[in-house]
Amino acid sequence: MAKQYNPSLVEKSWYVWWEKSGFFVADPHSSKPPFVIVLPPANVTGALHIGHALTTAIEDMIIRWKRMSGYNALWVPGIDHAGIATQVTVLYSSVFVVEKKLMRESGKTRHDIGRENFVFEVWKWKKQYGDTILLQHRLGASLDWFFECFTMDEKRSAVVTEAFVHLYKEVLIYRDLRLVNWDCILRTAISDIEVDYTDIKERSLLKVPGYDKPVEFGVLTSFAYPLEVGLGEIVVATTRVETMLGDTAIAVHPEDPRFKHLHEKFAIHPFNGRKLPIICDAILVDPNFETGAVKITPAHDANDFEVEKRHKLDFINITDDGNINSDGGSGFTGMPHFKAREAVIQALQKKKSSCKMH
């Protein structure tokens, strides 16, 4: 007898016999009461860990108990494509290697190889790690492998498409303008849950991908918008002064006596002459914070986006892939986002717009 138990040797031979004997197979024609559970499909971002083993062990006990209790029990195995997480993993592994090779041989980036070739790399990754995951699950888990699935396979993709078509026909989903979290390196939108937030309470220099020098954050920049003839100016404060290129309004609190005379008046954009309405918004504006006047950039701030919907303002997107586009003004077109910040401050100072950083 062996001195210690070796599960890989013992279970491997037993598992083959269990599968051949059909012990884990559910009978679609059975008169027994059905009981079905789905093994939470593991992400193909890597191999399984102890947390997966715990879930598998718990579900295995449940499904075996139900079989012994007279149920027609089905335990469905599968793996999940994991969306952006797999994309990131692939980009910084196999596709990153391809990108370096492409750059070295032809001067092309991964974006130049196109969607088809990228998807091919994802499927290669899925084959490598998906097979590893399924092999790990075969070590003892009483899954019905006839129903094995992948969340991006043809059947599952068809069901997802059908579901979205149904939701669209029922007007439960619709196309509309929405703000997204755009990743300038991945060049794709990512969900809120995939964003890491950093609370910055003071002036800080942080490294930003794509920039040689650290970028300054946590600084309020105040500047003055000229008003219509004879009305003087109105000062606003912002931590992202470059977004003023897309401003479409200035908001004040309706009860703030300092701005009563400006209700329904207009400010003038210093770079393009665009007329910005002075609007009253008690939801957004805190009259006790800074100047009490708030610049509104609906395309680049979640709160301002809500203001745009309440007041039906213009929506001007000034960036494409992290660079200022033509809607941001000819003097800034093509500039990377944070370099445009410096350029805007310099341009405001030349306009004598009372631009100050604090």
pLDDT at 174 over 60: yes
**Can you give the pLDDT at residue 355?**
65
Cβ 59 vs Cβ 95: under 8 Å: no
Query: What is the biggest distance separating any 2 CA atoms in the chain, rounded to whole angstroms?
Result: 100
**Can you give the pLDDT at residue 195?**
86
Residue 353: pLDDT band (50, 70, 90) is low
pLDDT in tens, 75-102: 998 877 765 554 555 454 544 444 444 4
Mean pLDDT of 209-225: 90
> Looking at the domain covering 204-357, what would its CATH class be?
alpha beta
Arithmetic mean of pLDDT over the chain? 84
pLDDT in tens, 96-127: 444 444 456 656 666 777 778 777 766 776 67
Top pLDDT among 2 and 279 is at 279
**Can you give the pLDDT at residue 95?**
46
**Can you give the pLDDT at residue 145?**
86
Q: What global pTM score does this model have? A: 0.68
CATH 3.40.50.620 residue ranges of the chain are: 7-169
Mean pLDDT of 255-259: 95
Residue 225: pLDDT band (50, 70, 90) is very high
Distances (CA, A) of 65 to 37, 71, 73, 347: 13, 9, 9, 73
pLDDT at 326 over 70: yes
Counting residues of the chain whose pLDDT is more than 90, the rounded percentage is 47
Closest CA to 319 of 243, 215, 220, 217: 243
What is the CATH T-level fold of the domain 7-169, as seen in this structure? Rossmann fold (3.40.50)
CATH 3.90.740.10 residue ranges of the chain are: 204-357
Distances (CA, A) of 188 to 113, 157, 182, 300: 16, 21, 6, 16
Residue 140 DSSP label: T
Q: How far apart (Å, rounded) are the C-alpha atoms in residues 104 and 252? A: 55
Query: Which residues are CB-neighbours of 246 under 8 A, at least 6 positions away?
Result: 297, 298, 299, 300, 316, 317, 318, 327, 328
pLDDT at 283 over 50: yes
First to last CA, the chain: 77
